[in-house]
Amino acid sequence: MADPLFKAGDKVRIRDAYPIGHCRTPFYTRGLTGEIERYCGSFANPEELAYRRDGQPAVPLYRVRLPMQKIWPDYTGALLDTLEVEIFEHWLEHDN
């Protein structure tokens, strides 16, 4: 199991990728930038498990916090509002 690459507070970008297989990165979050809320532990890769492989080595999983205004440019709620979503490490890159 690899050490997690990111830590709470890191600015990250969710990859703008569109695989055809099973994955757990919601479409609406792809390509967006946010901040790591926490590292959740490492888990077998669902993109492998779905096809009956073992999903090892386990992949670090994070919760990423995104401001609603960044996800939905015409968001009508409050400026403060946020969304947190679980994203696996191979879907994240540093946002510098």
Partner 1 sequence: MAHKSLTDYRGVHDLGGVLCEPFAPDEHDYAPWEKRVHAVRELLATKGLLRVDELRRAVEGLGEEKYRRLSYYEQWIWAMTQIMLERGIVTDAEIGARVEAVRARLASDG
Partner 2 sequence: MHDHPHPNQPDEEDGPFTEYRLLEVALRELLIEKGVIMHAELHKTYQMMDDRGPHNGARMVAKAWSDPAYLDLMRRDATAAAKSIGLEPTWLNLIALENTDAVHNVVVCTLCSCYPWPLLGLPPDWYKSRAYRSDVVQNPRKVLAEFGTTLPETVEVRVHDSSADMRYLVVPKRPEGTEGWCEEQLAELVTRDSMIGVVPALTKEGL
DSSP sequence for 6-71: --TT-EEEE-----SS---S-GGGTT-EEEEEEEEEEE--HHHHTTTS--PSPEEEEEEEEEHHHH
Of 8 and 54, CB closest to partner 1: 54
Site membership for partner 1, residue 70 (CB under 8 A): no
Tell me how far, at minimum, the Cβ of 50 lies from partner 1, in Å. Answer: 4
The residue within the footprint of partner 1, chosen from 1, 8, 11, 18 (CB under 8 A), is: 18
52 binds, among partner 1, partner 2, none (CB under 5 to 8 A by kind): partner 1
